[in-house]
Amino acid sequence: MKIRPEQPGDVETIRLLTQAAFKNAPHSSQTEAAIVDALRDAGALTVSLVAVEGDQIVGHVAFSPVTINGKDADWYGLGPVSVWPDRQAKGIGQALIREGLGRLKQRGAGGCVVLGDPGYYGRFGFASDPGLRYGDIPPEYFQRLAFGPAPKGEVAYHPGFDAG
């Protein structure tokens, strides 16, 4: 498996992949594919990676800027992340997430947040922080990975997340 940044010819496959991955996912809004498109259209897909096996795209991960207390802080939100249902639980998602986090760190980002299952994201170093909040989401489901000093405040995702 190879991981590389998305290319213009990948857009349709990423859309179908995202729809398929989230079709039966718990807590899905079924808007995840539209969110990826909206982020791309807004130039907010800061890191967008695909996992490729042979000539097939098997997974995708997106990272986009978030604000903290309304200000750009060079922090990013992880997601959506998608693996085709018949390819899940084979390490593809983890490989995409690790590569994406590495790229963010390399760019000098301050850190990354994620909304999701703590049991899954804890393995990458994400942890909840009572000082960094996302609305009234229970803290255990909203986690952060700081590459430097951890800021405090209220996080907002890019407006592309309202798509769909």
Ligand X SMILES: CC(C)(COP(=O)(O)OP(=O)(O)OC[C@H]1O[C@@H](n2cnc3c(N)ncnc32)[C@H](O)[C@@H]1OP(=O)(O)O)[C@@H](O)C(=O)NCCC(=O)NCCS
Binding of ligand X at residue 88 (CB under 6 A)? yes
Sorted by sequence, the CB contacts under 8 Å of residue 145 that are 6+ apart come out as 101, 111, 112, 113, 114, 124, 125, 126, 127
CA-closest candidate to residue 11, choices 63, 48, 54, 55:
48
Decide: is 64 part of the binding site for ligand X (CB under 6 A): no
Both tokens of 64, joined, read: 């986009």
Of the two residues 99 and 152, which places its CB atom closer to ligand X in the complex?
99
Minimum distance between the CB of residue 149 and ligand X, rounded to whole angstroms? 26
119, 130, 138, 149: which one binds ligand X (CB under 6 A): 119
State in angstroms the smallest separation of the CB of 90 from ligand X.
Answer: 5
* Residue 161 contacts residue 44 (beta carbons within 8 Å): no
Helix (H) or strand (E) holding 140: none
The reply on whether position 90 binds ligand X by CB under 6 A is yes
Q: Which residue lies nearer to ligand X by CB, 23 or 152?
A: 23
Subset of 5-24 contacting ligand X (CB under 6 A): 21-22
For ligand X, give the closer residue by CB, 89 or 149: 89
Helix, strand, or coil here: 19? helix
Segment near ligand X (CB under 6 A); pick from 1-9, 75-83, 126-134, 144-152: 75-83
Q: Considering the rule CB under 6 A, would residue 36 count as an interface residue with ligand X?
A: no
Task: Provide the 10 A C-beta neighbour count for residue 104.
Answer: 22
Using rule CB under 6 A, residue 83 touches ligand X: yes
In angstroms, rounded to a whole number, what is the distance separating the alpha carbons of residues 95 and 133?
27
Name the residues that contact ligand X, by CB under 6 A.
21-22, 25, 79-83, 88-94, 116-117, 119-120
